[in-house]
């Protein structure tokens, strides 16, 4: 059965709870993210404004379809709207008006906090549904108003829905009337590994030792789960891509759990991928940035783990 769209009641959170939830979601995805920006923004100088968040990655890091370079400042601004009152289309129009200076009124991009911090990237985070047309128009408008900011992004309802689905604890904390205690909860861990020869190893002509990328999935819930698929997320030539490794490699056939094997509570499944298979991801485009592993269970839940800089070097360079 297909999952219903937009099942989380973001409208009901209100601005403060919405900002709080988004701050936790962003902090779980982007190491070093901090909620709150220090500076004057229509109030007392030096006041902490929780409508803003900031992030300066230490290494190359993904942000939707952008790759943010180390030590570049990213500023997030949060806008909560009650879309049920006027509809999504009208709400998008209201949002757009906030990013264009009119009749002497400063737009969001010319507020003191933004001007003083001079970010490399500005990100609007909103509970409004964002389609491709609005996304392009928003970015174009922002570039016209403040061309000194290099990149613009907008995180909308689709992305927030997906992230909440992956964060079981937050999902049950902020939407308790929709979901009961988590029956299904998987934790994903990524590591380096080596193949251990087994019976039939030599007959298959396999080497005595092979370097592997290991995905460990632990069942932290109270019910058995079934792994449907494992996806590798990458930014390829500026576009997000979801890549699936099709079983068939002899090492994967020997070492990985068989499809349909239940993952019982308190147990774990371990999946291995030879580096030479993952290295073929580099052939997807000229500029490939592998950043995340996403696990899907049989009922559509998603669980993810970021691929660290060290693991990326291990996969692509064998270091």
Interior angle at CA 296, CA 270 and CA 190, nearest 5: 40
Q: Which residue spans of the chain are classified as CATH 3.40.1350? A: 10-174
The matching CATH number, chosen from 2.30.30, 3.40.1350, 2.60.120, 3.40.50, for 10-174 is 3.40.1350
Q: Between the CA of residue 244 and those of 5, 254, 309, what are the distances in Å?
A: 24, 19, 21
User: CA-to-CA distance for 179 and 172, rounded, in angstroms?
Assistant: 6
> Under DSSP, is residue 225 helix (H, G, I), strand (E, B) or coil?
strand
Q: What is the pLDDT along the chain (319 residues), one digit of tens a residue?
A: 334 444 678 888 889 999 999 999 999 999 999 987 554 444 434 445 668 899 999 999 999 889 999 999 999 999 999 887 778 888 899 899 999 988 878 899 998 888 888 999 999 999 999 999 999 999 999 999 999 999 999 999 999 988 988 887 888 888 875 555 567 889 999 999 887 666 555 555 555 567 889 999 999 888 999 999 999 999 999 899 999 987 777 778 878 899 899 999 999 999 999 888 899 999 999 999 999 999 999 888 889 999 999 999 999 887 6
Q: Which residue spans of the chain are classified as CATH 2.60.40? A: 186-317
User: CA-to-CA distance for 91 and 83, rounded, in angstroms?
Assistant: 6
The matching CATH number, chosen from 1.10.1060, 2.60.40, 1.20.120, 2.170.220, for 186-317 is 2.60.40
User: CA-to-CA distance for 203 and 264, rounded, in angstroms?
Assistant: 33
């Amino acid at each position: 059965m297909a999952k219903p769209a937009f099942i989380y009641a973001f409208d009901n959170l209100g601005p403060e709870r919405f900002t709080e939830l988004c701050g936790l979601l962003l902090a779980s995805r982007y190491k070093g993210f901090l909620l709150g920006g220090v500076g004057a923004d229509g109030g007392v100088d030096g006041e902490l404004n929780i409508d803003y968040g900031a992030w300066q990655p230490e290494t190359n890091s993904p942000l939707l379809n952008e790759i943010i370079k180390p030590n570049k400042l990213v500023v997030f601004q949060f806008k909560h709207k009650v879309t049920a009152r006027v509809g999504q289309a009208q709400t998008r129009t209201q949002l757009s008006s906030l990013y264009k200076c009119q009749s002497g009124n400063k737009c969001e991009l010319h507020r003191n906090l933004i001007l003083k911090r001079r970010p490399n990237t500005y990100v609007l985070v909103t509970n409004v549904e964002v389609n491709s047309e609005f996304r392009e128009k928003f970015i174009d408008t922002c570039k016209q108003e403040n061309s000194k900011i290099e990149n613009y992004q907008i995180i909308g309802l689709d992305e927030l829905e997906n992230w909440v689905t992956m964060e079981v604890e937050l999902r049950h904390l902020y939407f308790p009337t929709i979901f009961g205690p988590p029956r299904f909860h998987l934790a994903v861990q990524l590591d380096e590994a080596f193949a251990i020869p087994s019976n039939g190893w030599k007959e298959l002509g396999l080497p005595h030792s092979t370097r592997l990328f290991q995905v460990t999935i632990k069942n932290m819930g109270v019910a058995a789960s079934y792994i449907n698929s494992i996806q590798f997320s990458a930014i390829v030539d500026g576009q997000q891509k979801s890549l699936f490794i099709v079983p068939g490699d002899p090492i994967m056939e020997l070492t990985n759990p068989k499809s349909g094997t239940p993952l019982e509570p308190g147990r774990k499944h371990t999946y291995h991928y030879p580096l030479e298979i993952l290295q073929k991801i580099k052939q997807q485009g000229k500029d490939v940035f592998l950043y995340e592993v996403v696990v899907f269970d049989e009922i559509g839940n998603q669980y993810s783990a970021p691929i660290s800089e060290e693991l990326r070097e291990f996969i692509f360079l064998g270091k």
